[in-house]
Structure formats: structure tokens, C-alpha cells
Amino acid sequence: VKPPPFSYHRARDGAHAVDLLSGLGPRARILAGGQSLLPMLHLRLAAPAHLVDIGRAADLGGIRLDGGRLVVGAAVTQAAVERSAEVRAVPLLAEAIAHVAHPPIRHRGTVVGSLAHASAVAELPCVAVALGAEFTLLATAAAPGELVAEVRFPVAGGRRGEAWSEFSVRRGNFPVAGAAAVVRLEGGTVTEAAVALCGVGDRPLRAPAAEDVLQGRTPTPELIAAAAEAAVAALAPRADGDTAAHILPVAAAPTPAWTYRARVARAQVRRALTRAVHRAEEQA
């Protein structure tokens, strides 16, 4: 299937991209790796008149550690982040990114593109929610036209453990459900906990009920099971019985029933928390 017609514009740098977006108007769209946008064009889910390609924008291609943050520019591919030495400073991102699609897609798809696309079942938006990632925007005051220039993930430190767990029907598929967990321990008790879920809502969701169960307590297997239960109990299915949104039409990717999805999510929270606690305990 061919995409609808569009004109193609290559941005030299971030400022040029914003100028192009402003000048071309509301029917212009940013093209990063194209791994979500091009399928949407082929499926006629989007029909932009102009694509502004930021893949070779000179100032958007960096990965660096800066003031306790891992900073990833908008043109950086998922594969480049996965292979970088810097990503080890954010273990949750390092673990989750290997589950995103397959290597050829990660070689084109960008981290920021995945966050901007914000699929409810994708790994990286869920990681960003769990870690409280920050975005740097580039915009002009003159006209609409805005791009995410970079994303900043907080770097792990101290007795903190992070873990990702997901279940997908096949490795590389979008998960049925996935969970991100971050746990900080002081003297054997939890002083900081973050739990986020994908696949169970119309966006990645923090699970404050699970975090409250853990806070200030010793993370025994029973407590972790109670936290996982609380995470899922707080979610309500939509009237049509399923809360998850997909980039693919439902007919092409039938969604499992809510009860099954919730059960899968609960298991992923338990696994992610168990590993995060174990990793926190291993820190000196």
C-alpha cells in the first residue's frame, strides 16, 4: 500500500525543523525514524501534507550524561541508545529498550519518537512515566510548530534498583502488559517506590496504590504480591471491556479480554518489583 502524497523536507538542525513546521502549518508532521508514522500513513490513519525529517538534524543526535541525567537527543535511534555505554546509568531504560520491536526497527526508530507517539502498550513511555523523565521542547513564539528536542532520564544511584518485566505473545511484539519498577532501600525498608504499567489503559499509568503499599515497609514477597494486587485493583476497564489502545486496528491485532490482561499486568508488577528489590539489595 502506498502512502498518501506528501512533500518531504529535511531539517538541518532543530531550529530549522521548527522553522519548517511553523512555515508549513498544521498539516506538517515531524518524521523521526518513521517506524510508527509510516505504517500510519500506509494504513491511512494519518495524511500529513508535509513531512519534516529530523533524522539528520546536526544538533539532535547526542547521547550524554549531564548533571545526574541521561540526555537523549531526538534523532538518536533506539539501537544507538541500547548499544551506548551511557545507558547503563539508567538500568530500567537499558532493560526495557531491548524489548522494543526487533533490531531492524530499533535501528531506525528513535527513543524520542516512541515517547512522542506515546502508544499505550509501548515500553519506553512507561519507562518515562516510572522515572519521571523530562522533555526539552523547541518552539517558536510566532506560529504553531513544536518538537521534542531531547528527553532526560534520571540516573540511578545509591541503594536503588530498577527493573522491567513484560509479557508479549512473541518476543518483539508489543506487550500484552508490562511493568516498570523502581525501589530505593534504606536499612531494609522502602524509602522510594515507583511502579508504572503499560497495556492496561489508554496511556502508560503510574500505580500509586502499589507504591503506597511498599512505602516505609520491608519488601517481603508477600508485600510485593500485595502491591501487585493493589496496582491492578485500582484500574477500571472501559465500558467495552478493554482498556488498551493499539497502533494497529483491532481487527489486525485482537486485544485479549480485560481480566486476562489484568492478570498478566499483576504478574509483571510482581516480577519487576522482585527484581528491583533484589538489585537495590545488591547495591553497596
For ligand FAD, the binding residues (CB under 6 A) are 29-37, 39, 74, 100-101, 105, 109-110, 112-114, 116-117, 122-124, 147-148, 173-174
Tell me the β-bridge partners of 70. 65, 153
Say how far apart CA 228 and CA 191 lie, in whole Å.
18
Minimum CB–partner distance for residue 60 and ligand FAD (Å): 7
Of residues 31 and 230, the one with the C-beta less far from ligand FAD: 31
Which residue, chain included where needed, has cell 522533555? 135
Q: What is the largest CA-CA distance in the chain?
A: 61
Minimum CB–partner distance for residue 208 and ligand FAD (Å): 24
Cα angle vertex 39, ends 33, 42, to 5°?
Answer: 130
Of residues 80 and 155, the one with the C-beta less far from ligand FAD: 80
Minimum CB–partner distance for residue 103 and ligand FAD (Å): 11
Cβ partners under 8 Å of residue 93, min gap 6: 70, 81, 87, 124, 127, 131, 153
Of residues 252 and 284, the one with the C-beta less far from ligand FAD: 252
Which residue, chain included where needed, has cell 539501537? 79
Of residues 151 and 213, the one with the C-beta less far from ligand FAD: 151
Minimum CB–partner distance for residue 110 and ligand FAD (Å): 3
Of residues 164 and 258, the one with the C-beta less far from ligand FAD: 164
> Which single residue brings its beta carbon nearest to ligand FAD?
109
Which residue, chain included where needed, has cell 497502533? 247
Of residues 104 and 158, the one with the C-beta less far from ligand FAD: 104
Backbone angles phi, psi at 193, to 5 degrees: -145, 135
Amino acid at 163: A
Minimum CB–partner distance for residue 187 and ligand FAD (Å): 37
Say how far apart CA 156 and CA 92 lie, in whole Å.
9
Minimum CB–partner distance for residue 43 and ligand FAD (Å): 11
Say how far apart CA 160 and CA 131 lie, in whole Å.
12
Which residue, chain included where needed, has cell 484500574? 235
Amino acid at 28: A
Minimum CB–partner distance for residue 95 and ligand FAD (Å): 14
Of residues 28 and 207, the one with the C-beta less far from ligand FAD: 28
Amino acid at 279: R
Say how far apart CA 197 and CA 211 lie, in whole Å.
12
